[in-house]
Amino acid sequence: METISIGQYDLIYNVFSFTFAAMMAATLFFWFGRSQVSDAYKTAMTVTGLVTFVAAYHYLRISQSWAEAYTAANGVVTASPIGFNDAYRYVDWFLTVPLLLVELILVMGLSRKETSSKAIRLGLLAALMVGLGYPGEIADAASGRWLWGGLSMIPFLWIVYELFVGLSRSVAQQPESARGLVKAAIWVTVLSWSFYPVVFFAGAVGLEGTTALTVVQVGYTIADLVAKAGFGVLIFLIAVRKSEADMGRAQTA
Amino acid sequence: METISIGQYDLIYNVFSFTFAAMMAATLFFWFGRSQVSDAYKTAMTVTGLVTFVAAYHYLRISQSWAEAYTAANGVVTASPIGFNDAYRYVDWFLTVPLLLVELILVMGLSRKETSSKAIRLGLLAALMVGLGYPGEIADAASGRWLWGGLSMIPFLWIVYELFVGLSRSVAQQPESARGLVKAAIWVTVLSWSFYPVVFFAGAVGLEGTTALTVVQVGYTIADLVAKAGFGVLIFLIAVRKSEADMGRAQTA
């Protein structure tokens, strides 16, 4: 039976509990922020809060599943017959990753036609990316992880291309006060998302045991915090700056 | 097996339950307060409520963990095999202590550049301070407590210096009606925060047993109430006075 040290068990539990609290705090911050941006960016703030809300729900479930998967008593941790349900992460990503791209597109304030075409295309690519990754995550053999992980990289690279090339013209149309933040939001997306395949393929190059488990769980969690809560703060700041710029234009018009 | 008197057990449990209620009440007070301050201070009120909201969540968890860690039956309290998870405090502080500095900076209404540079610098120092304290809290030997506690004091003293010296010029720029309150908020921060190392080092000078446990748990809790809910009331009063001063200036302009 797999054993895990009490230090590792506690660290992972506390990281999950921290992340639930941080995601709920972020959610409320974004939803309160709705009243501080102009009407054009309210939907972006709603969606930004939905992403962290759904993540908070999943981290609550993940921490409960973690608590049930092991029995900690008298300083010794034993695996219980109920396994840890790691699928909560994929269920979460299937819903939140498309929405992360939607919030970025919404805050950019493109034309209605561009907004819907980009949101549908990037949203479907993101769902496809997550859906293709899951069979690799649960594959018994390393070959399965390489196959599905490799397939999942195709929509991932397509999204990266769209973000840098497809959105670059739209970045130039942003008000000057928000342009740096929009670029930062694109970079945060690409860099924080790149962290997931690193953790994913760590399992294919033979990283095993409880240290690997700790690295994977803590790694995915930090990536989620940056990609959802940290990214959301950027979306809020962009929405505030653009609301100010729109008001300034309205006054001088 | 560690024993604790029923009086001490009940006192600590009731203090935790009281603090959950007080933090939730404070949270709702601060969020209702958002509508009573001008737009410039709404984010400060949002963050003030987030701090007590996150603290309320952790006190709920702490009180549950306390209930599970002991079995009270027939007037005798026995430690259960499941230990008390004291790490919830550090998880809470890691999130709330940086936010406490952010709410103070936000309510001062500095320039955008100063706000972001001070918020990032002080926030990182606060996270570092909490992160360095934790290995000391769980250290088996007193030497570990002295080492990590000592390291943690470096960012702490840096923050104190920034609050008194770095923010003093900004205090002079506050409207007269709010200046005394801003000074009070800085003093409350420094004094209430100074209480934590006192409790922390009590464990390094040989304070042990269930009386020490009671002093530590009740001590940290009182410090949390002053530093988060009490401090938050000052932030609200500052935001109200500054909103009034801004309106006065707008009317005479």
A chain contacts of residue B38, beta-carbon cutoff 8 Å: none
Cβ <8 Å between B57 and A21: yes
B chain contacts of residue A225, beta-carbon cutoff 8 Å: none
Q: What's the CA dihedral at A17, A19, A22, A24 to 10 degrees?
A: -80
Query: Residue holding tokens 């039976």?
Result: A1
Q: Which of B1, B45, B47, B50 to mutate to test the interface with A (most CBs of A within 10 A)?
A: B50
Query: Residue holding tokens 């900690």?
Result: A72
- Measured in angstroms, the CA of A91 and the nearest CA of chain B are apart by 25
Choose among B50, B87, B94: nearest Cβ to A28.
B50
Cβ <8 Å between B53 and A24: yes
Cβ <8 Å between A17 and B88: yes
Residue B240 has pLDDT above 50, yes or no: yes
Tens digits of per-residue pLDDT, B164-176?
A: 888 888 898 899 9
Looking at residue B114, its pLDDT comes to 92
Looking at residue A251, its pLDDT comes to 66
- Percent of all residues in chain B with a pLDDT value above 70, rounded to a whole number: 96
d(CA B122, CA B125): 5
What's the mean pLDDT in B8-17? 94
Cβ <8 Å between A29 and B42: no
d(CA B119, CA A12): 28
Among A30-34, A199-203, A233-237, the least confident range: A199-203
d(CA B130, CA B125): 9
What is the SS3 string spanning chain A? CCECCHHHHHHHHHHHHHHHHHHHHHHHHHHHHHHHCCHHHHHHHHHHHHHHHHHHHHHHHHHHHHHHHEEEECCEEEECCCCCCCHHHHHHHHHHHHHHHHHHHHHHCCCHHHHHHHHHHHHHHHHHHHHHHHHHHCCCCHHHHHHHHHHHHHHHHHHHHHHHHHCHHHHHCCCHHHHHHHHHHHHHHHHHHHHHHHHHHHCCCCCCHHHHHHHHHHHHHHHHHHHHHHHHHHHHHHHHHHHHHHHHHHHHC
A chain contacts of residue B68, beta-carbon cutoff 8 Å: none
Q: Which residue of A has its CA nearest to B92?
A: A18
Tens digits of per-residue pLDDT, A136-190?
A: 888 888 888 899 999 999 999 999 999 988 888 889 889 999 999 999 999 999 9
Residue A113 has pLDDT above 90, yes or no: yes
At B145, list the tokens: 């407590």
Cβ <8 Å between B46 and A25: no
pLDDT-based confidence at A13, cuts 50/70/90? very high
Residue A253 has pLDDT above 60, yes or no: no
Q: Write out the residues of chain B at the interface with chain A, using a CB-CB cutoff of 8 A.
A: 31, 34, 39, 42-43, 46-47, 49-50, 53-54, 57-58, 61, 81-83, 85, 87-88, 90-92, 94-95
- Answer whether A101's CB lies under 8 Å from A119's CB: yes
Residue A51 has pLDDT above 70, yes or no: yes
Q: Which residue of A has its CA nearest to B93?
A: A18
- Answer whether B33's CB lies under 8 Å from B236's CB: yes
A chain contacts of residue B31, beta-carbon cutoff 8 Å: 32
Looking at residue B1, its pLDDT comes to 45
Strands B70-73 and B76-79: antiparallel
- Measured in angstroms, the CA of B238 and the nearest CA of chain A are apart by 20
Of A35, A159, A26, A43, the closest CA to residue A108 belongs to: A43
Q: What is the CA radius of gyration of chain A?
A: 20
Q: Which residue of B has its CA nearest to A27?
A: B50
Where are the domains positioned within chain A? 6-109+163-247
Q: Which residue of A has its CA nearest to B32?
A: A32
Choose among A25, A35, A74: nearest Cβ to B54.
A25
State ipTM: 0.90
- Answer whether A175's CB lies under 8 Å from A241's CB: yes
- Measured in angstroms, the CA of A18 and the nearest CA of chain B are apart by 6
Kindly list the distances between the CA atom of residue A153 and the CA atoms of A147, A158, B115, B159, in Å, as whole numbers in the listed order.
10, 8, 39, 44
Tens digits of per-residue pLDDT, B112-152?
A: 899 999 999 999 999 999 999 999 888 878 888 899 999 99
Domain A6-109+163-247 in CATH: superfamily?
Rhodopsin 7-helix transmembrane proteins (1.20.1070.10)
pLDDT-based confidence at A216, cuts 50/70/90? confident
d(CA B230, CA B181): 12
Tens digits of per-residue pLDDT, B61-97?
A: 999 999 988 887 877 888 888 788 889 999 999 999 9
Looking at residue A32, its pLDDT comes to 97
Q: Which of A4-8, A161-165, B56-60 has the highest mean pLDDT?
A: B56-60
Choose among B50, B81, B87: nearest Cβ to A29.
B50
d(CA A187, CA A166): 14
Q: What is the DSSP string of B122-157?
A: HHHHHHHHHHHHHHHHT-SSHHHHHHHHHHHHHHHH
Q: Which of A18, A20, A34, A236 to mutate to test the interface with B (most CBs of B within 10 A)?
A: A18
CA A56, distance to chain mean position in Å, is 12
Q: Is B252 exposed, middle or buried (0-12, 13-18, 19+ CB in 10 A)?
A: exposed
- Percent of all residues in chain A with a pLDDT value above 90, rounded to a whole number: 66
B chain contacts of residue A35, beta-carbon cutoff 8 Å: 34, 42
Of A226, A227, A203, A224, the closest CA to residue A213 belongs to: A203
Looking at residue B155, its pLDDT comes to 96
Q: What is the DSSP string of B53-103?
A: HHHHHHHHHHHHHHHHHEEEETTEEEE-SSPP-THHHHHHHHHHHHHHHHH
Q: Is A189 exposed, middle or buried (0-12, 13-18, 19+ CB in 10 A)?
A: buried
A chain contacts of residue B43, beta-carbon cutoff 8 Å: 33, 36
- Measured in angstroms, the CA of A17 and the nearest CA of chain B are apart by 8
Residue B209 has pLDDT above 80, yes or no: no
Kindly list the distances between the CA atom of residue B66 and the CA atoms of A5, B17, B120, B199, B222, in Å, as whole numbers in the listed order.
22, 11, 35, 19, 17
pLDDT-based confidence at A1, cuts 50/70/90? very low
Q: Name which residue leads in pLDDT, A212 or A32.
A: A32
- Measured in angstroms, the CA of A140 and the nearest CA of chain B are apart by 34
Does domain B6-252 fall under CATH 1.20.58.1880? My reply is no
Choose among A21, A29, A35: nearest Cβ to B58.
A21
Strands A70-73 and A76-79: antiparallel
Of A112, A120, A149, the closest CA to residue A133 belongs to: A149
